[in-house]
Structure 1
Amino acid sequence: MTYSFDKIIDRRNTNSSRWDQYESSDILPLSVADMDFAIAPEIQTALVKRIEHGILGYSHQGDLTEKIQAYLKKEFQWSVDQEDILVCAGVVPSLYMIPKVLMNHDDHAILPAPIYHHFFLAMQQAHRAYSSTHLKVSNDRWVFDLEELQKAIQPNTKLLMICNPQNPGGTVLSKNELLEIGQLCVEKDLLICSDEIHAQLVLDENVKHTPIASFSPEISNRTITLMSLNKAFNFPGIGLSWCVCTNPDIRKKLQSYMAAQAHHPNALAYTATATAIDEGGPWHLELIQYLRGNRDLIRDWLSHHDQVTWKNSEATYLAWLDFSQLGWDNVQAHLIKNGLALSAGNQFGNEYSQFGRLNFGVPKATLIEALKRIETAINSSN
């Protein structure tokens, strides 16, 4: 490989949300979804050059929407107009914006669990009603249960929020699966908020990500697509994202809210994102190869430890592990006792307390140590 992903970089005492979460250095934290790899040297060089200019004043996006437009066409064969692209400060702030701006106080939303915990928090902060449906396991993949989804739609349901590729399950919804969801939302007149931040982290070579808004004008006109390169190129700390919204009325509402909230990225985020688009391809290709190797390492380990299970994960660097066969009262506490911290399963839905989400976007040596600690936790409970 041209780039080094095996290098272990000490992130403690760097204000890392993950590595500085626990006082004890004996705990290995593989929870929060950022990677332990240095950013692409091309991006680092561009950031250093920008800083060496000496002034980090208020910045505008320049030709970034043009770059994003070309990127979407190249990567996903998705043609959008530049005016449809709204540059934002991050996917999470955008998640919080959507229910506030697009739902009335008496509207209702549906969230398919398990799902990233900020979906729940966004609804709660906006004081909007919501209910959770449940993804089902079909052919070893976490997918939508359309029958349950239809039953969950109420007269005041306004919004369906989805995450594709799915966090934490790792499913990349197929074109047919997405089309069924989109057609249902057209039929029931629902808006769609689609978080697609993991779109550039598809690991299966025979699987392609398709934006749900790319199918038809009818689906696109009711969809707000949230995207970013923060995850795939590992610079979430200087985050930038974009919304794609082809509906001019919805877009104006979002623009108005963003203007009132000074909802814009920082100066370095523009540089990082533009450089990732222009020069990050070779680094990203090697990253995907490395993550595939880590995924295979976990699968091999699981083949010898059948008390822990993991459904087929087609994307992301997140392993949604099921510990329910072990009968632990508190999965997170038992793992921490044995030196490993994962994202607690109940963050992704109250029913998933026997799960844990493991971040394998780390050097192989770190991942091997994590698997050893899971084995120790298993043995200590026998």
Structure 2
Amino acid sequence: MKRYLIPAIFFTIGLLLQVWLYFSWITFGLLSVSTILLSLLIFSISEMSTIPGKEDVVESSQENASETKEELKSEEIANEEESQTYIPPFFEDRDPIALAREIKKGESKALFCETVKQYSLPKRDPKISSLLYAFYDGIGFTECFWQKGALLVDSESNDLEWEEYEKDTIKELLPCLSRNKQKLYLPLSLNQNLFGLVCLTTKEKFSDSEIASHWESTLILSEKLLEKREYARALRDPKTSLFNKSHFYHTAKDKFYSQIRQTLVLLKFVKEKHSIEFAICLNEMIKKRGLNDSSLFQLEDSIVAGFIPNQNLDQFTYMMQSFVEELDELGYECELALGYSSPSEPNLKFDQWIKKAYISLENSILHNAA
């Protein structure tokens, strides 16, 4: 009410002067209007004084912005930590033994498909309408590609539908014509190795004289398939298809002298039962998670090795725990011992780096036994 004290005094003095000197309704009206205007002016001034200044507004907005940034940063850190600790399931209720067989078969098929893409057969005979490539896994044949002209189209992984005599003839590494002579099956083989087959289809009919020329056209592809298989065998362990010990030492030297620091990790399956299948599944899990840039290495029957970038070590540890827990839920007992060795120590030599990892692995085995 203090804001209205001045207008009240102004109105009272004006009214007294009018009564004492001269009173008229006109002057009284002017006095009333002047008093109201004065009240409004004082009210406006008092309201403006309660509005915060520009500096206060800026300071308040900066404080709110900093608080918001801190909240968002803490949420991002929490989400990042949660994403690192959460490892999506790998097996998804699939049996690890059967899955290991599928993975190993899939790698052989992938090598076959990769070679076929690079060295597919040239379509020289206009009577050929299409070609079908099928992979042989030692038991049966699975479709891989359809070829029309120079175009290769992926096929569903269906078993080949044909007659028994056609299958037996191909397994004997010999070409075979279908009964209607519209399909010509040619084995992709060399040195008694059967890799797969290619099926030539025509709307007309193949003659017996055409078989030899078409079979000869598969020679280059068969040679490349044998070359790729032999190269893979030279680098990989025959049981697990992981890289072998010889390739490990070659790769380890490159990793040790590389500017990108990676930690050497040794893993031992304490119980050897199903260790081969577990190693195959573990290798596939690491590749799918993208934790390293290469496959694992099979050093001994139950010891595998890998090179993990230092920034991925925590996630790698969480993944190992998840791997063991998933196997336990599936009814498979798996106990892992881990050994680490980082090349970041000053004056550390290559052989000391390897030895340090083995010492760490031995300590882990003793710790688990205790």
- Give the TM-score band, short-chain normalised: under 0.3
TM-score, normalising length from structure 2?
A: 0.25
Q: Which has the higher contact order (CA 8 A, sep 6+)?
A: 1
TM-score, normalising length from structure 1?
A: 0.24
